[in-house]
């Protein structure tokens, strides 16, 4: 099959409304430097259906929309020269082509991975969780004065959007009252705090009362000033230790990358105040690692420092999830954002169970883990044991 065949198949799939997406990969010498892939898909814009090329550079994405002839011209120019691999997904069949450096092409095609008709509505308009032109994004150094996401802030932007997607899903399954009371513990410079407030007020029409808790007064001052300037009247920041923050009501607890046991302090507060949704992305995991003296069959593996470190992280976060379960939550632990973007990439979410499950089986699992790994006490357990004498058995 000749290399022109690919644009021809692309054209007929697009015209028939069967085109789902197309990916160009394996950049060659003719590709602009730092360009890793191009992701192509149809989009509906005000002036009709166009073809969006998402140019993925090492540190940023750039999206351009083209007419069909423009897109075909680009494909013809780039295939086999700038990119050596291409895949085309349609509702009828999936195709892939690989070029050798001498220009020869090998083709394959198979049953389609998806037969669902393509979504051509402009996703960015439809699903946009935040307006990049929001002034707070500029104040926090994410966007330019024109409201464009800066190249250096692309990872942060992706993280913010992923975070909001997670929250949106949690709120869909577990709706909270419009005047939801939220604490973001260890709020730092406030990227995710502002993002959540903006999303809840602008997209979900809620009227949250949200407090960022942060040890560093300079950050708190900056965030309060930015909140005032943004007209975010329900958002405020307090310069205090998580340990000293005791609100009367808490519906949602957020603790993102709060250092080591600060995550446990936050989780304990959330549990004590019966927050209905808890979202934590733990940071460093020192406490369990210091305490661990493995006595089970893992011991020969954990003499290697890196494996012991990973195991300590798994135990720290795994026991956190179990302790949440023991306190009436349904929990989930998953990758927050790919480790390509940050090493701190685990997220724990918890929502209150409608029906309380027996605690003892979960406590037994925790006890077995602690015994096998020679852990005297998990810090969250310590906090809970000292604060919660009255939990139902
Ligand atoms: C790594 S930053 C994370 C900031 C933000 N949550 C994010 O994910 O972008 C952790 C922040 O937690 C704050 N912090 C750590 N321990 C704390 C405590 N006990 N009380 C209040 N803030 C704390 C630190 O000062 C720091 O700004």
Protein residue with its CA nearest to atom 13 in ligand 1? 186
Residues 262-269, mean pLDDT to the nearest whole number: 94
Superfamily name with CATH number, domain 127-387:
Vaccinia Virus protein VP39 (3.40.50.150)
Protein residue with its CA nearest to atom 14 in ligand 1? 186
Determine the distance separating the centroid of ligand 1 and the alpha carbon of 188, expressed in angstroms.
5
CB 239 near ligand 1, within 6 Å:
no
**Per-residue pLDDT at 285 exceeds 80:** no
Protein residue with its CA nearest to atom 12 in ligand 1? 186
Protein residue with its CA nearest to atom 27 in ligand 1? 188
Three-state helix/strand/coil letters over the chain = CCCCHHHHHHHHHHHHCCEEEEEEEEECCCCCCCEEEEEEEEEEECCEEEEEEEEEECCCEEEEEECHHHHHHHHHHHECCCEEEEEEEECCCEEEEEECCCCCEEEEEECCCCCCCCCCECHHHHHCCCCCCCHHHHHCCCECCCCCECHHHHHHHHHHHHHHHHHHHHHHHCCCCCCCEEEEECCCCCHHHHHHHHHHHHHCCCCCEEEEEECCHHHHHHHHHHHHHCCCCCEEEEECCHHHCCCCCCCEEEEECCCCCHHHHHHHHHHHCCCCEEEEECCCCHHHHHHCCCCCCCCCHHHCHHHHHHHHHHHHHHHHHHHHHHCCEEEEEEECCCCCCCCCCEEEEEEECCCCCCCHHHHHHHHHHHHHCCCCCCHHHHHHHHHCCCCCC
Determine the distance separating the centroid of ligand 1 and the alpha carbon of 342, expressed in angstroms.
16
Residue in 180, 312, 321, 187 with CA at minimum distance from that of residue 252? 180
**Which pLDDT score is estimated for 146?**
87
CB 163 near ligand 1, within 6 Å:
no
Domain ranges of the chain: 5-125, 127-387
| Confidence band for 392, pLDDT divided at 50, 70 and 90 | very low
Determine the distance separating the centroid of ligand 1 and the alpha carbon of 258, expressed in angstroms.
4
Per residue in 351-360, pLDDT (tens digit) is 999 888 899 9
Determine the distance separating the centroid of ligand 1 and the alpha carbon of 15, expressed in angstroms.
52
Residues 314-329, mean pLDDT to the nearest whole number: 95
Per residue in 180-237, pLDDT (tens digit) is 999 999 999 999 999 999 999 999 999 999 999 999 999 999 999 999 999 999 999 9
**Which pLDDT score is estimated for 341?**
52
| Confidence band for 130, pLDDT divided at 50, 70 and 90 | very high
Residues 331-335, mean pLDDT to the nearest whole number: 92
Per residue in 301-310, pLDDT (tens digit) is 999 999 999 9
| Confidence band for 340, pLDDT divided at 50, 70 and 90 | low
CB 58 near ligand 1, within 6 Å:
no
Determine the distance separating the centroid of ligand 1 and the alpha carbon of 252, expressed in angstroms.
17
């Amino acid at each position: 099959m000749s290399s022109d065949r690919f644009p021809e198949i692309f054209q007929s799939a697009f015209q028939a409304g069967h085109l789902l997406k197309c990916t160009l990969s394996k950049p060659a010498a003719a590709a602009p430097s730092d360009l890793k892939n191009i992701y192509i898909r149809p989009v509906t814009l005000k002036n009709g259906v166009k073809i969006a090329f998402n140019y993925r550079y090492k540190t940023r994405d750039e999206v351009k929309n083209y007419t069909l002839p423009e897109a075909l011209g680009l494909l013809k120019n780039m295939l086999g020269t700038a990119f050596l691999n291409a895949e085309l997904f349609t509702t009828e069949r999936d195709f892939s082509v690989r070029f050798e450096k001498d220009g020869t092409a090998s083709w394959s095609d198979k049953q389609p991975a998806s037969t669902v008709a393509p979504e051509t509505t402009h996703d960015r308009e439809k699903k946009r969780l935040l307006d990049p032109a929001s002034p707070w994004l500029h104040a926090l150094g994410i966007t330019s004065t024109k409201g464009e996401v800066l190249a250096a802030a692309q990872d942060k932007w992706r993280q913010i959007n992923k975070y909001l997607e997670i929250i949106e899903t949690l709120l869909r399954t577990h709706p909270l009252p419009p005047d939801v009371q939220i604490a973001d513990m260890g709020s730092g410079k406030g990227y995710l705090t502002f993002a959540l407030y903006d999303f809840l007020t602008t997209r979900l029409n809620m009227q949250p009362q949200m407090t960022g808790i942060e040890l560093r007064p300079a950050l708190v001052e900056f965030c309060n000033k930015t909140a005032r300037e943004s007209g975010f009247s329900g958002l405020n920041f307090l310069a205090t230790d998580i340990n000293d923050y005791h609100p009367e009501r808490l519906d949602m607890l957020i603790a993102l990358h709060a250092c080591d046991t600060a995550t446990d302090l936050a989780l304990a507060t959330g549990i004590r105040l019966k927050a209905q949704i808890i979202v934590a992305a733990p940071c460093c995991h020192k406490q369990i690692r210091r305490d661990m003296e493995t006595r089970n069959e893992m011991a020969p593996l954990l003499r290697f420092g890196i494996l012991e470190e990973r195991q300590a992280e798994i135990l720290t976060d795994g026991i956190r999830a179990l302790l949440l379960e023991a306190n009436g939550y349904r929990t989930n632990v998953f990758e927050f954002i790919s480790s390509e973007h940050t090493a701190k990439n685990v997220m724990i979410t918890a929502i209150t169970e409608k029906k309380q499950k027996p605690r003892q089986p979960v406590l037994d699992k925790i006890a077995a883990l602690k015994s096998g790994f020679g852990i005297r006490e998990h810090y969250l357990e310590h906090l809970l044991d000292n604060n919660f004498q009255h939990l139902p058995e």
